[in-house]
Structure 1
Amino acid sequence: MNEPVNDHCLDLLFRKARSQNGWLDKPVRDETLKTLYDLVRWGPTSANSCPARIVFLRTPQAKQRLLPALSAGNVEKTLSAPVTAVIGYDMAFYDQLPKLFPHHPGVREWVLEQPELIEATALRNSSMQGAYFILAARALGLDCGPMSGFEHARVDNEFFPQQRSLRDCFADMQIKSNFICNLGYGDPSKVFARSPRLDFDEACVLL
């Protein structure tokens, strides 16, 4: 039986956590990014499909490749963030199912027989993994700045090209961008006032 975490953990993950718009000049180690993914990968997905694919942009040169795709309001905070993660989803996630869901022989073929489900499954489950990503980053002491203000086609062409210039990284995959998330240590002076949230009775029904 799971034991509930204490209020400090709940504040860290939810109540006092904020989306960041500015960043301290403090690097994020590659080992921290690897630990972050090692937490994310344990979160549940449909048929353990794990469709999320992540590109971590850690250098000024990598950030410059992203800038033309960003909306104007996202440029400065992305440039100042120690790391920007491009979170995508693999439309060919089914090729990994024999490895990831081995107790269900034929699961790859079952998915391919229902092509209308492929993109919905990939998008939904990569979004779930993106939420795990944010919570795992906060649990490791990082701040997050998730963003959706960018041109998906430009990002896909630059970081997930159909021409396999990234063959060594993502061989024979069909990846699309979902969202972008800046990572680092937030500058408290650049945090906006907290926006309201819906109360339980406005968002939930007990049946």
Structure 2
Amino acid sequence: MVAAFKALVQSNSPVNPDESEEEEAQLSVVSAQIEDANTQQEVNEYMRFESECETEFDGRIKRHSCTIHRLQTAVRAFEKDEKLKSIINWARIIVRTFRMSHVATGELLKATGLTLIADVSTRWNSTLLSLRRLDEVREPVKEIMARHLKIPGLTPGEWLIIKFIIRLLEKCNTVTDKLSADKEATIHPVHFYMNGLVRHLE
């Protein structure tokens, strides 16, 4: 019975390990493309909602949209910038391909005690969290990728851009946290934080 089970497992296992890794990489690419489409849809839906609200109020009542939602929409739009999108998407592919490999994830966990964080479109600042962790364990990731994964890594210049993106998004994360308090009023410091954010981006 054990022999029959082993035969069944072997018959359903990939013949070539390289093919399995290539399939995982392809799945990661498709996943990144879907994420990109979801980001665009999210931005479009928010802008449509804002437009509908403006039409509904029609100037009769002074309305303030949610600052955090506007900020997060701006962050999502920032991620669509043509100069940055390809690098962010490739970082996502690396993270997802890495996470799909039990061997790679196990080695990273053994070496650093950490795992890579997936970017989830429904979680605020998730791109920052994902990129920050990737940068934190950059050297072990590069070594493990060279041994186990069949996809190219980021170039030194792209790693520098990742650091630049992290630096930009860190302030957005801080402002989001400050304005997300649920036990105190947060409308009064909005201008203070927004002005600070503008200065940071400049």
Normalising by structure 1, report the TM-score: 0.30
User: TM-score w.r.t. structure 2 length?
Assistant: 0.31
Bigger strand fraction: 1
Q: Which has the higher helix share?
A: 2
- Bigger Rg over Cα: 2
Higher relative contact order (CA 8 A, sep 6+): 1
